[in-house]
């Protein structure tokens, strides 16, 4: 039985390493997702700024067309002045000319506002683009590091899985079944060391006779509190 206990100890170590490896790979996946989220957020911000810029440029172009229309209308009204025959017609044309000039000034104000918005938006977009470039570069570097770490983790996992299979094969059927059942039920460790005459898993106080049995290693002992397999602390 001491040989079986030694195998169980080795198996416990392998499973602990596999568990730690699982957490490490999960952390790597989380970090990869965080990098993608950071890049996507800045990319979204840049897209918004570019949309604002396009809207401002369109507003600018539309206003310029409106100014040209107002100027053309003013020119047409001015041509008609020499042909009018009554004061009423003359003053009506002057009113139309004045209105066209007023509309042109209003659209010129729109052009100035659009130009100011374009300048501010271009500056913001340039800043955000630089930030995006930096984050994409950082994400690329991090991605390479994470890829290398993931490959190392896969290699280590494969080695550990092989060791685990070999160790399980060395256990008798009853012990192997008990170990796997406990591991599935507890979710962490099926084997715990006795610490200060208590179960290292649930801290259940163990009877002296059971402590002695665990110390001797002559037979497999399980905790009456949680059912985990008990081993004596590794003195090495």
End-of-domain residue from the set 124, 150, 171: 171
Residue 66 and residue 140 in one domain: yes
pLDDT at 236 (0 to 100)? 42
Contacts for 25 with CB less than 8 Å, ≥ 6 apart: 150, 153
- Where is 124: in which H helix or E strand? helix 87-170
Flag whether 3 is in a domain. no
What's the CATH number where 140 sits?
A: 1.10.287.1490
End-of-domain residue from the set 171, 191, 207: 171
Flag whether 83 is in a domain. yes
For tokens 């200060």, the residue is: 196
pLDDT at 145 (0 to 100)? 94
State the Cα–Cα distance between residues 236 and 232, nearest whole angstrom: 11
State the Cα–Cα distance between residues 209 and 213, nearest whole angstrom: 6
Mean pLDDT, contiguous 10-residue spans, the chain (236 residues)? 84 91 92 95 97 97 97 95 92 96 97 97 97 96 94 94 96 92 86 92 93 88 92 74
State the Cα–Cα distance between residues 26 and 13, nearest whole angstrom: 20
pLDDT at 235 (0 to 100)? 57
pLDDT at 134 (0 to 100)? 97
Flag whether 16 is in a domain. no
Residue 27 and residue 90 in one domain: yes
Residue 108 and residue 26 in one domain: yes
pLDDT at 117 (0 to 100)? 96
Flag whether 186 is in a domain. yes
Flag whether 106 is in a domain. yes
Flag whether 15 is in a domain. no
Domain count for the chain, please give it. Answer: 2
Rounded to 10°, the helix 173-186/2-81 angle is 30
Question: What global pTM score does this model have?
Answer: 0.71
Residue 73 and residue 102 in one domain: yes
**Strand segments (E) across the chain:** 191-195, 198-199, 221-222, 229-231
Residue 235 and residue 147 in one domain: no
The closest of 82, 105, 104, 109 to 94, measured between CA atoms, is 82
> Domain range for residue 86?
21-171
Cα separation values, 175 from 168, 171, 209, Å = 9, 6, 22
Flag whether 14 is in a domain. no
State the Cα–Cα distance between residues 178 and 180, nearest whole angstrom: 6
Residue 198 and residue 163 in one domain: no
Residue 216 and residue 147 in one domain: no
Cα separation values, 59 from 34, 39, 65, 114, Å = 38, 30, 10, 6
Coil, helix or strand for 221? strand
Residue 214 and residue 163 in one domain: no
pLDDT at 219 (0 to 100)? 85
On whether the CB atoms of residues 90 and 81 are closer than 8 A, the answer is yes
Residue 117 and residue 104 in one domain: yes
Flag whether 218 is in a domain. yes
């Amino acid at each position: 039985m001491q040989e079986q206990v030694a195998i169980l100890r080795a198996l416990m170590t392998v499973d602990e390493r596999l568990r730690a490896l699982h957490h490490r790979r999960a952390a790597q996946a989380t970090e990869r997702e965080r990098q993608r989220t950071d890049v996507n957020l800045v990319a979204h911000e840049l897209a918004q700024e570019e949309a604002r810029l396009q809207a401002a440029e369109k507003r600018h172009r539309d206003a310029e067309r409106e100014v040209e229309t107002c100027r053309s209308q003013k020119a047409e009204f001015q041509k008609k002045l020499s042909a009018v025959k009554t004061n009423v017609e003359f003053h009506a044309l002057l009113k139309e000319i004045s209105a066209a000039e007023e509309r042109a000034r209003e659209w010129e104000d729109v052009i100035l506002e659009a130009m100011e918005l374009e300048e501010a938006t271009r500056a913001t977009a340039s800043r955000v683009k630089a930030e995006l470039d930096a984050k994409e570069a950082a994400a690329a570097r991090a991605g390479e590091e994470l890829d290398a770490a993931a490959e190392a983790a896969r290699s280590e996992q494969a080695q550990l899985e092989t060791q685990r299979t070999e160790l399980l094969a060395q256990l008798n059927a009853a012990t192997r079944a008990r170990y796997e059942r406990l591991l599935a039920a507890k979710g962490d460790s099926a084997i715990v060391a006795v610490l200060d005459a208590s179960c290292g898993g649930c801290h259940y106080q163990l009877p002296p006779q059971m402590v002695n049995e665990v110390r001797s290693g002559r037979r497999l002992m399980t905790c009456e509190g949680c059912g985990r397999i008990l081993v004596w602390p590794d003195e090495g």
